Structure 1
């Protein structure tokens, strides 16, 4: 790619096979291969037959529409004990257009408990939107996202294989870069090391634009673990009283959160029947309060992610949806 870099300066269920990948440091070179690692994820029917009682998994309603989505999660160590998590969600809209939702999360800074979120929606199929940049600020740091998908090429998957680049700068340092990054970046910007944390292939089914479930299979150095996450009561008008979050690992109910409207974010530690200790963190604010908002220029902001993290002695598994 020879362009000058300066020119760019509410019911649903999801079925997924989730494969946490080893932490492989990305190249510090300015030219990063656009080919993503090919994880062995494949869609499988994990929901068991319906049964009664809170201690058993219940199957969600049959889906009304399906959308395949591939999620890739990367992590970058920033200065001042901060970490940047970059989530790439590749998918195809019901009209057949390929889209990319980029989610940026910064943890740490002046307040160790602070959390910064920023999302960018890229439409490679739309000429007016396949090149651009977005700028924002977190505390004293300047964050910039640059992209060019004007010559993008696809194979059979959702991710492009050539003719594109995506670059995230934090205080003029390349915190994340992917694709055919311009050669000028190697001399202008210092590249920070980032790692691929996890990858998940999902099939999302939506009725009213609200998610209420995720099914995943956690893998890694330890044994396989089937995970079912359900948010019941989303179909009611009184979300404040009726919503309950259930998390099953295998056939064990390991987490039940009532009044989710007030407890949409939290963390708990559970010990499974086989003795495995699991720390579960959740943030479903986006599921409960998802609204179409616009900025001062009338541009619609992209949707936010709900986040789940499962941490064991074998490693961490992160899922954004």
Structure 2
């Protein structure tokens, strides 16, 4: 919920870039939001994976319904290197304990692990969040029973390339993963074209991009309507200020019937926000 771009401007299509001028360190961030229940009320759990010259890091923050931080655990690179452990915190006369085991985790280019790991957060002996494919080990370690009540509602990631930008996407909670490719060559072209593919199948093409550098379009993924917003102004016309480059911004948001124009934060779907940076 924090620092996620809005796509609900007056025009209904503009996607704001909150990271213009960010350094390349910011490209190695993946933030995931989960809606859960804590003390009988709704809360948001923010999981951020990071990677820099010091190594990989992880932070887990729990916010209440007013966006106030209830507690936060930061696993810095020097601690992350131990790859497993737990932290406990006192919140409202209760104890929240976060367990993690990444000792056998496999990573790709993203700071987010691919498999062979778990993260678990419990409160009053109830699982409120469980991530990773080692779910049996997580429940055994925490002495709790499945399932957790958390629902995956949003993800933000920084990706980079020269012409093609690729990521893995899960468009609904517990849904299957898809490969998303964004292709746009702007070098030396007076009228570039934007193409988006899902699992190597082209689902969207935007011609005359110099005139349509911001917009939105609905595609279908697994029969589910997904609205795509894009803002590639910085790619075509340069970034303002001292920064030599800035990211284009893409948002993929699931749509639910006529209610699709309501913000995703009201629990009506899932959104994936991508900041696409051009390598020099």
TM-score range, shorter chain: 0.3 to 0.5
Q: Which has the higher contact order (CA 8 A, sep 6+)?
A: 1
